[in-house]
């Protein structure tokens, strides 16, 4: 499997982002001490029975960074590179992300260090059920609500929901979001993150007096977030000229046929081999001359060694933490307009919130209702971040972090510090 260059530890990046926001907000030291670090960290041992009868030990994590503004919320990642620090970073970003879009959740994240591409469905089910039972004391609809992330999906959520419900003795759909619709999932959740990325790109284009229609786009990562973003941009008349996944990169200067590429990926599991395109190197995609670059794979994709090669005019961070702080500084000096992750990809957690509300109320909303609400939330958050960016003359990432951290700090001020 192709791995990205690790340029620093994601948790160090998360702490650096926090410190910059806290400094800019002139946050008092006591509040910093309360909101900076994870509230709870659980590391679990997961013995998984492989199909050949062997037991294979895996490590899993669940981190609750904050429950100051509401139940902790965050996805579960299955990937060979999952570490405790990565999960802590992702949980921390979830806290600020939920605050940026102003939904009543805190931040959490989970992960299992494993290679799901080399596991059968039966092995994945046993892994998921054992991991769920190990983190069971922490999760619950009023405590901590998992969702899909890299290499987990609606089926994974169904197994978690079933394991949790069976243990408690009655169905509890609100324990996870991103479930299949027939188990209480929400319409629009699967495509919510990509749709949110699209809405923020629309807002950014409006702000910069550019058109989505006719824009050229490169997308790194063609999973849930990347493929939906590409699809919506394609439908809006943008030209998606390059796309990659872990198996390869494809390029067509006249624009890729995104529905056909999605179809190929669903059949073969890869973009590699798409007939109407030429293969290119991963680094070529990141350095491609285009209007909009969408990193939608993993952390640290753009780092100090390749930032100067970026030729996109706008970057929309579909992924969490795809740009290191050193690369941020380079891109800022080059005048690249950034839609930062905790704003750009917050559509997923926003529709997760809608799903949770529907589960709590035992009712279902129409798809158009969900899209309308999501668009309002995303565009309001974009305006709020842009306002701070302008008023305080700070980069977009710092503005987003200031908004998120500031809202959590205000909640702490009102709640007080126990005891
Ligand atoms: P996914 O598993 O559906 O897709 C990940 C994609 O990235 C796959 O196509 C994979 O092949 C590709 N990939 C992996 N390594 C790569 C590499 N080195 N180069 C190019 N492509 C590579 O995952 P996803 O849910 O789409 O998540 C992608 C990113 O978006 C992650 O950072 C995740 O945390 C973030 N995110 C996801 C959601 C969500 O709702 N799924 C919400 C917010 C943020």
Best probe residue, ligand 1, of 296, 301, 302, 378 (max atoms within 8 Å of C-beta): 296
- State the chain's maximal CA–CA distance in angstroms: 64
* Binding pocket residue ranges, ligand 1, CB within 6 Å: 2, 4, 148-151, 193, 220-226, 244-246, 282, 296-298, 318-320, 345, 348
The pLDDT of residue 366 is 97
Integer Cα distance of 313 and 354 in angstroms: 33
Integer Cα distance of 396 and 390 in angstroms: 9
Given the residues 88, 97, 109, 179, the one annotated as active site: 109
Please state the separation of Cα 187 from the chain's center in Å: 19
Summarize pLDDT for 226-284 with one digit per residue, the tens: 999 999 999 999 999 999 999 999 999 999 999 999 999 999 999 999 998 999 999 99
What spacing in Å lies between the alpha carbon of 361 and ligand 1's midpoint?
Answer: 31
For residue 299, the ligand 1 atom closest to its alpha carbon is: 32
For residue 249, the ligand 1 atom closest to its alpha carbon is: 20
Question: Does an H or E element contain 369, and which?
Answer: helix 367-392
The dihedral formed by the CA atoms of 90, 93, 98 and 101, expressed in degrees to the nearest 10: -130
Query: Percent of the chain, pLDDT > 90?
Result: 98
What spacing in Å lies between the alpha carbon of 227 and ligand 1's midpoint?
Answer: 10
Residue whose CA is at the smallest distance from ligand 1 atom 36: 319
Residue whose CA is at the smallest distance from ligand 1 atom 41: 149
Segments making up each domain of the chain, as ranges: 4-17+38-183, 192-344
The confidence band for 3, taking pLDDT boundaries of 50, 70 and 90, is very low
4-17+38-183 shares its CATH topology with 192-344: yes
Going 361 to 128 to 350 to 96, the CA torsion angle's sign is positive
Contact status, residue 397 vs residue 340, Cβ threshold 8 Å: yes
Residue whose CA is at the smallest distance from ligand 1 atom 33: 319
For residue 242, give the nearest of 152, 333, 311 by alpha carbon.
311
CATH architecture of the domain with range 192-344? 3-Layer(aba) Sandwich (3.40)
Name the burial class of residue 28, with classes exposed (0-12), middle (13-18) and buried (19+) by CB atoms within 10 angstroms of its CB: exposed
Look at the domain 4-17+38-183 and name its fold: Rossmann fold (3.40.50)
For residue 236, give the nearest of 264, 209, 255 by alpha carbon.
255
For residue 341, the ligand 1 atom closest to its alpha carbon is: 44
* 250 conformational bin, left if phi > 0, alpha if psi -120 to 50, beta if neither: beta
- Which tokens belong to 295? 């990193």
Best probe residue, ligand 1, of 224, 274, 281, 317 (max atoms within 8 Å of C-beta): 224
The pLDDT of residue 5 is 42
For residue 147, give the nearest of 377, 355, 300, 319 by alpha carbon.
355
Q: Facing residues of 338 across strands?
A: 315
Summarize pLDDT for 101-122 with one digit per residue, the tens: 999 999 999 999 999 999 999 9
The pLDDT of residue 7 is 44
First to last CA, the chain: 49
The confidence band for 388, taking pLDDT boundaries of 50, 70 and 90, is very high
What spacing in Å lies between the alpha carbon of 220 and ligand 1's midpoint?
Answer: 9
What spacing in Å lies between the alpha carbon of 117 and ligand 1's midpoint?
Answer: 14
What spacing in Å lies between the alpha carbon of 327 and ligand 1's midpoint?
Answer: 20
The pLDDT of residue 2 is 38
Q: Look at residue 1 and tell me whether its pLDDT is greater than 60.
A: no
Best probe residue, ligand 1, of 101, 195, 221, 296 (max atoms within 8 Å of C-beta): 221
Summarize pLDDT for 161-182 with one digit per residue, the tens: 999 999 999 999 999 999 999 9
What is the chain's alpha carbon radius of gyration, rounded to the nearest angstrom? 20
Residue with the two structure tokens 């997308």: 219
The pLDDT of residue 57 is 98
Q: What is the mean pLDDT of residues 81-94?
A: 98
The pLDDT of residue 8 is 63
For residue 265, the ligand 1 atom closest to its alpha carbon is: 9
Question: 367-392 vs 192-207: helix axis angle to the nearest 10?
Answer: 40
For residue 345, give the nearest of 97, 89, 82 by alpha carbon.
97
**Mean pLDDT of the residues in the chain:** 96
Q: Is 179 a catalytic residue?
A: no
Please state the separation of Cα 315 from the chain's center in Å: 15
Q: Facing residues of 293 across strands?
A: 218, 315
What spacing in Å lies between the alpha carbon of 226 and ligand 1's midpoint?
Answer: 7
Strands 239-245 and 314-316, how do they pair?
unpaired
Integer Cα distance of 218 and 205 in angstroms: 16
Residue with the two structure tokens 């999760």: 139
Integer Cα distance of 322 and 332 in angstroms: 15
What spacing in Å lies between the alpha carbon of 390 and ligand 1's midpoint?
Answer: 31
Question: Does an H or E element contain 376, and which?
Answer: helix 367-392
Name the burial class of residue 30, with classes exposed (0-12), middle (13-18) and buried (19+) by CB atoms within 10 angstroms of its CB: exposed
For residue 282, the ligand 1 atom closest to its alpha carbon is: 19
The pLDDT of residue 4 is 43
């Amino acid at each position: 499997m192709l791995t990205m260059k690790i340029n620093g530890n994601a948790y160090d990046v998360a702490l650096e982002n926090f410190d910059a926001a806290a400094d800019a907000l002139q946050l008092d030291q006591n509040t910093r001490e309360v909101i900076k670090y994870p509230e709870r960290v659980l590391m679990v041992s997961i013995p998984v029975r492989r199909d050949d009868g062997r037991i294979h030990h895996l490590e899993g994590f669940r981190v609750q960074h904050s429950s100051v503004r509401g139940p902790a919320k965050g996805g579960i990642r299955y990937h060979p590179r999952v570490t405790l620090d990565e999960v802590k970073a992702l949980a921390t970003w979830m806290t600020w992300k939920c605050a940026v879009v102003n939904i009543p959740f805190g931040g959490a994240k989970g992960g299992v260090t494993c290679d799901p591409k080399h596991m059968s469905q039966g092995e994945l089910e046993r892994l998921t059920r054992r991991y769920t039972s190990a983190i069971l004391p922490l999760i619950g609809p009023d405590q901590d609500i998992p969702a899909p992330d890299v290499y987990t999906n609606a089926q994974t959520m169904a197994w978690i929901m079933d394991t949790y419900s069976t243990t408690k003795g009655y169905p509890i759909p609100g324990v996870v979001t991103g479930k299949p619709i027939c188990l209480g999932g929400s319409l629009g959740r699967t495509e919510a993150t990509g749709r949110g990325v699209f809405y923020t790109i629309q807002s950014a284009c409006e702000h910069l007096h550019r058109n989505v229609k006719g824009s050229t786009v490169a997308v790194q990562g063609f999973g849930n977030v990347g493929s939906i973003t590409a699809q919506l941009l394609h439908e809006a008349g943008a030209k998606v000229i390059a796309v990659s996944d872990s198996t390869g990169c494809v390029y067509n200067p006249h624009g890729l046929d995104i529905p056909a590429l999605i179809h190929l990926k669903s059949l073969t599991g890869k973009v590699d081999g798409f007939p109407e395109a030429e293969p290119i190197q991963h680094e070529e995609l990141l350095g491609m001359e285009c209007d909009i670059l969408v990193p939608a794979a993993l952390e640290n994709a753009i780092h100090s060694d390749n930032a100067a090669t970026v030729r996109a005019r706008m970057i929309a961070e579909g992924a969490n933490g795809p740009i290191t702080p050193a690369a941020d500084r380079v891109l800022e000096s080059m005048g690249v307009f950034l839609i930062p992750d905790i704003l750009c990809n917050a559509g997923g957690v926003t529709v997760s919130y809608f799903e949770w509300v529907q589960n709590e109320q035992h009712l279902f909303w129409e798809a158009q209702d969900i899209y309308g609400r999501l668009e309002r939330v995303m565009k309001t958050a974009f305006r709020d971040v842009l306002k701070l960016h302008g008023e305080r003359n700070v980069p977009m990432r710092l503005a987003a972090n200031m908004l998120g951290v500031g809202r959590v700090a205000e909640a702490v001020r009102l709640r007080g510090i126990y005891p």
